[in-house]
Amino acid sequence: MTEPMDGHDRIVSADADGPEEEVIEAALRPKKLDDFIGQERVREQLSLVLHSALRRGRTPDHVLLSGGPGLGKTTLAMIIAAELGRPLRISSGPAIERAGDLAAVLSTLSEGEVLFLDEIHRMARPAEEMLYMAMEDFRVDVVVGKGPGATAIPLDIAPFTLVGATTRAGMLPGPLRDRFGFVAHMDFYEPAELEVIVQRSARLLDVEISDAGAAEVAGRSRGTPRIANRLLRRVRDYAEVRADGAVDLELARAALKLYEVDERGLDRLDRAVLASLMRKFGGGPVGLSTLAVSVGEEPETVEVVAEPFLVRQGLLARTPRGRVATPAAWAHLGLTPPPSAPMAGTLFALDDDADRPEQ
């Protein structure tokens, strides 16, 4: 059994930690489109959108950035404003509780300003409807008063470019999604791209790192720049205290071993889930809550924090009958799957083997 841990104390969490990390992230953020690494297609498409608008002297279409945490949405929003040479106003869905909150922001925008609405899927409904109109006609109706005496006062707003960011594009209402002229889907990064990001960050942090060391950090970063940067900082700490500050392959491996991040980027919780699934339940299928209890965690922690990455890595499958370890999972933990016959002493033996991994 492991000590309980939630998503926040994990070195491999894709979510930002807090204000302290924000400061470091700001320092590592690329400022120009040319310095933004990876996401080749998004970058090229966005470059066309921005530069054709600049050429025509118009405000560009509204842009929706969709992708998981830590993949560079905020970074791109800042780059968009910088490339346009326009100021950036930052707000977020949860900060806009009423239509009036949005009206206050919109009515004070200057011409051509870039408005960044983070977590746009979490905006209040009435505000959302006001936003439709603002995006399309650069106009809003501000309702004054209540009941039969209420009147709508039309208000012109300066042409602006909305940059929305969401980790849950599926949760955006169709009418809102349709009003974005350009939707950028941000994917997980390739190891080679993350390696370049690690090298760039190392330069900015003044850390000496070998190519192999950078590749090692990149390979364990779960396709996510934020995690790559965080692992780099932990490896740097290790290098400064235990060595002369330089990071090579061996040092990166030793440091990441200490932080319990393995070659595939799995941490202690991920491995505990897999190990329990295999050792205690013969590889499954087993229900989520039973599995969670066996690792001393809440079901939600296992489901939200550990499983998505395990599924993405092809290590765990969610079947209608429960969680199943895949052959890759057995191989990764160096365990041998049991013979396919139902195992003595387990209540989870199957009446057929349909959901069992190949053995």
Neighbours of 133 (CB within 10 A): 16
74 binds ligand ATP (CB under 6 A): yes
For residue 148, what is the DSSP state?
G
- The answer to whether 11 touches 262, Cβ cutoff 8 Å, is no
Q: Is 223 helix (H, G, I), strand (E, B) or coil?
A: coil
CA-to-CA dists, residue 107 to 88, 97, 103, 155, 156, angstroms = 15, 17, 6, 8, 8
Nearer to ligand ATP, 219 or 283 (CB): 219
Cβ-in-10-Å burial (0-12, 13-18, 19+) of 144 comes to: exposed
Instruction: Scan residues 222-281 and list those touching ligand ATP (CB under 6 A).
Output: 225-226, 229
The verdict on whether residue 17 carries a ligand-binding annotation is no
Nearest approach in angstroms of CB 43 to ligand ATP is 8
Judged by beta carbon distances under 5 to 8 A according to partner kind, the member of ligand ATP, Mg ion, none in contact with residue 229 is ligand ATP
- The answer to whether residue 74 forms part of the interface with Mg ion (CB under 5 A) is yes
Q: How many angstroms separate the CA atoms of 293 and 115, rounded?
A: 45
Residue 25 contact partner, candidates ligand ATP, Mg ion, none, CB within 5 to 8 A by sort of partner: ligand ATP
**Is 10 annotated as belonging to a binding site?**
no
Query: Is position 179 annotated in a ligand binding site?
Result: yes
Stretch that binds Mg ion, among 70-78, 169-177, 239-247, 277-285 (CB under 5 A): 70-78
CB 152 within 8 A of CB 34: no
265 labelled binding-site residue: no
How many angstroms separate the CA atoms of 252 and 212, rounded?
Answer: 9
Residue nearest to ligand ATP (CB): 72
29 in contact with ligand ATP (CB under 6 A)? yes
Max alpha carbon distance in the chain (Å)? Answer: 76
Strand (E) or helix (H) holding 183: strand 182-185
Q: Which is nearer to Mg ion, 14 or 295 (CB)?
A: 14
Residues that bind ligand ATP (CB under 6 A): 15-16, 25, 28-30, 36-39, 69-75, 167, 197, 225-226, 229
Residues that bind Mg ion (CB under 5 A): 73-74
Annotated binding site for DNA, which residues?
318, 323
Annotated binding site, which residues?
28-29, 70, 73-75, 136-138, 179, 189, 226, 318, 323
